[in-house]
């Protein structure tokens, strides 16, 4: 994994993640396709300003009151990030629930490292919240040799790039935040508002607990909804994209939803064979891409049409609501990342079945992961599953046990759908008001030629807690 250049802003993460939903085979698959537009109607094209979605106004640059561009300390910051990468803080599903378990010792080690390297950070400077999680995704030992550089070596190359696990998610943000606060304190800066540094340790673990504790502490200490702004991971600076630099903070993050479904059957088709048919049906019916006012990615797309160098057909399609379906298709064809931000995504992540050769599998299970789009919902995803998989199950003489239901006594052949966890789309952060103006103005001071626009994070963050 290539890390961040020490003097560049982070690029949006390449992993495709949206509203996350792990749904067992039947839970998440019944998506009905809608017809695609084949042509673009230009006769009723309207100006971008008259659309229900607009590109945010570009504010004046907001310059700092003290000199604070420490380009001479790039090597120092790089070494700090290197040291953080060298401390393995992987998080796995099913981590211990007791905080005194020795499994968490690695996070105490990272805490000691931060205190050692940032001794001037005053805990009383705690309402703006700066967040970054300490943990990383796991690195299976069998994949270590595939890395260009060892994942926990913190290698710094001759161009100043830091390589390793966590350098883009999100030890870079962790070290950058502490470095910025440390430099401000050293310069004599005294904030007019309280600054809270919040760093959880299980963001990558599915069942996020630490961020919930942090959120509760903040609510206990301050009035609910009194925080000026929360700055967390998500989005970033996109350089040289359609002829323009973009500062694109994610104004909504994803959530995780888990489900498990099982199928029980006997020959002539084994449970695994039937499950394969159901999985194939799910993958053959992906939900359509949609450009909608409720999606924070839509203003970014409108900004592309207004300021970017894009295909003329796409620009014309963006000018009229009636041709937005065509625009969404064009965008999806250009980039898998765009497609993921315009629909509910799905991925069959786990399949289980069978215990040995020459023994018929009594059960087979599949888990499908979904990132639920902003204009979609878990209930609609469940409905689509029923609509798609009920006819398929009937072909194999299987009863369907729906979400939240239990198989009746004596039932031996059935397809069971379940979704034991999950969350709907998170609230969308506003792109107007003082907090956005401060963010936008500060960004334009650092990148004077950029366009500042909201974006949609395809990954979950601690802010959702």
pLDDT one-digit tens code per residue, 73-106: 888 889 999 999 999 999 887 788 787 889 889 9
| More confident: 388 or 128 | 388
Average of per-residue pLDDT across 194-198? 87
- The rounded distance, in Å, linking the Cα atoms of 303 and 324 is 14
- pLDDT score for 348: 92
Residue count of the chain, please give it: 465
What's the mean per-residue pLDDT of the chain?
80
Q: Where are the alpha helices (DSSP H) in 198-311?
A: 210-221, 271-284, 297-307
Asked if residue 325 lies in contact with residue 343, where contact means CB atoms within 8 angstroms, the answer is: no
Instruction: Kindly report, residue by residue over 351-404, the tens digit of the pLDDT.
Output: 988 876 766 787 899 999 888 888 888 999 999 999 999 999 999 999 999 998
Same domain, 38 and 142: no
pLDDT score of 167: 93
- The average pLDDT across 280-287 equals 94
Are both 262 and 411 inside the same structural domain? Answer: yes
Provide the domain count of the chain.
2
Q: Which residues contact 406 (CB under 8 A, 6 or more apart)?
A: none
Domain of residue 387, CATH code? 3.30.70
Rounded to 10 deg, the angle between the 105-117 and 171-186 helix axes is 30
Residue 121: per-residue pLDDT = 54
- Residue 40's pLDDT band, with cuts at 50, 70 and 90, is very low
Q: Supply the DSSP symbol for 460.
A: B
Tell whether 202 and 162 lie within a shared domain.
yes
Instruction: Report the pLDDT value the prediction gives residue 465, as an integer from 0 to 100.
Output: 63
Compare 464 and 90 and report the one with higher pLDDT.
90
**How many Cβ atoms sit within 10 Å of the Cβ of residue 50?**
10
Q: The sheet that has 244-249: what strands, in order across it?
A: 235-241, 244-249, 451-452
Structural domain including 226 reads: 71-251+429-464
pLDDT of residue 7: 33
For residues 88 and 235, state if they share a domain: yes
Residue 64 lies in a domain: no
Do 82 and 153 lie in a common domain?
Answer: yes
Same domain, residue pair 312 and 201: no
Do 356 and 230 belong to one domain?
A: no
Instruction: Say what angle helices 171-186 and 74-85 make with each other, to 10 degrees.
Output: 140
Higher pLDDT, 373 or 458: 373
What is the predicted pLDDT for the residue at 385? 94
Average of per-residue pLDDT across 188-200:
83
Q: What is the pLDDT of residue 27?
A: 27
Kindly state whether residues 85 and 193 are assigned to the same domain: yes
Domain-located, residue 287: yes
The angle formed by the CA atoms of residues 193, 194 and 196, to the nearest 5 degrees, is 140
Give yes or no for residue 161 having a pLDDT over 50.
yes
- pLDDT at res. 164: 95
SS3 365: strand
Interval 418-445: pLDDT, tens: 986 677 777 788 888 888 999 999 999 9
pTM comes to 0.67
- Residue 356 pLDDT: 62
User: Is 61 among the domain residues?
Assistant: no
Q: How many CB atoms lie within 10 A of CB 200?
A: 25
End-to-end CA distance of the chain: 28
Mark whether 76 and 141 lie in a shared domain: yes
Pairwise pLDDT comparison (13 vs 251), residue with the higher score: 251
- The C-alpha R_g of the chain, in whole angstroms, comes to 24
At 284 the pLDDT is: 95
Strand 235-241 to 261-264 pairing: unpaired
Which CATH number goes with the domain that contains 143? 3.40.630.10
């Amino acid at each position: 994994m290539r890390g961040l250049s020490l003097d560049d802003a982070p690029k949006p993460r390449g992993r495709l993640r949206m509203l996350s939903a792990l749904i067992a085979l039947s839970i998440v698959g019944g998506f009905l396709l809608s017809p695609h537009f084949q042509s673009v109607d230009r006769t009723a094209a309207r100006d971008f300003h008259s659309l229900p979605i607009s590109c945010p106004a570009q504010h004046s640059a907001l310059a700092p009151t003290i000199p604070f561009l420490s380009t001479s300390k790039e090597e120092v910051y790089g070494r700090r990030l290197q040291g953080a990468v060298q401390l393995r803080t992987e998080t796995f599903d099913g981590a211990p629930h007791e905080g005194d378990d020795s499994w968490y010792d690695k996070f105490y080690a990272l805490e000691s490292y931060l205190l050692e390297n940032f001794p001037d950070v005053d805990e009383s400077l705690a309402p703006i919240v700066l967040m970054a999680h300490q943990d990383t995704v796991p690195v299976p030992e069998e994949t270590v040799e595939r890395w260009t550089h060892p994942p926990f070596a913190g290698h710094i190359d001759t161009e100043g790039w830091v390589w390793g696990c966590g350098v883009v998610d999100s030890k870079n943000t962790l070290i950058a935040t502490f470095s910025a606060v440390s430099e401000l304190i050293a310069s004599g800066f005294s904030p007019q508002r309280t600054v809270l540094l919040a760093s959880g340790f299980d963001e990558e673990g599915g069942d996020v607990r630490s961020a919930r504790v942090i959120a509760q502490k903040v609510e206990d200490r301050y009035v609910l909804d009194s925080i000026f702004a929360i700055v967390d991971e998500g989005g970033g600076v996109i350089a040289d994209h359609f002829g323009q630099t973009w500062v694109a903070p994610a104004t909504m993050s994803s959530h995780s939803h888990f489900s498990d479904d099982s199928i029980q059957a006997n020959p002539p088709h084994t449970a695994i064979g039937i499950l394969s048919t159901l999985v194939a049906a799910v993958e053959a019916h992906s939900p359509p891409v949609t450009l909608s006012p409720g999606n924070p990615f839509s203003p970014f797309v409108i900004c592309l049409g207004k300021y970017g160098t894009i295909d003329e057909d796409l620009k014309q399609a963006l000018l009229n609501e009636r041709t937005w379906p065509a625009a969404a298709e064009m965008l999806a064809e250009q980039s898998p990342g765009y497609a993921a931000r315009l629909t509910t995504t799905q991925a069959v992540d786990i399949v289980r079945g069978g215990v040995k050769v020459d023994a018929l599998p009594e059960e087979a299970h599949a888990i499908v992961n979904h990132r639920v789009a902003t204009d979609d919902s878990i209930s609609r995803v469940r409905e689509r599953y029923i609509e798609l998989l009920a006819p398929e199950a009937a072909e194999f003489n299987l009863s369907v046990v729906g979400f939240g239901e239990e198989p009746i006594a004596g039932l031996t052949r059935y397809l069971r759908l379940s979704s034991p966890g999950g969350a709907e789309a998170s609230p969308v952060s506003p792109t107007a008001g003082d907090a956005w103006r401060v963010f936008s103005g500060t960004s334009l001071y650092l990148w004077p030629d950029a366009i500042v626009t909201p974006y949609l994070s395809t990954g979950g963050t601690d802010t959702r807690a």
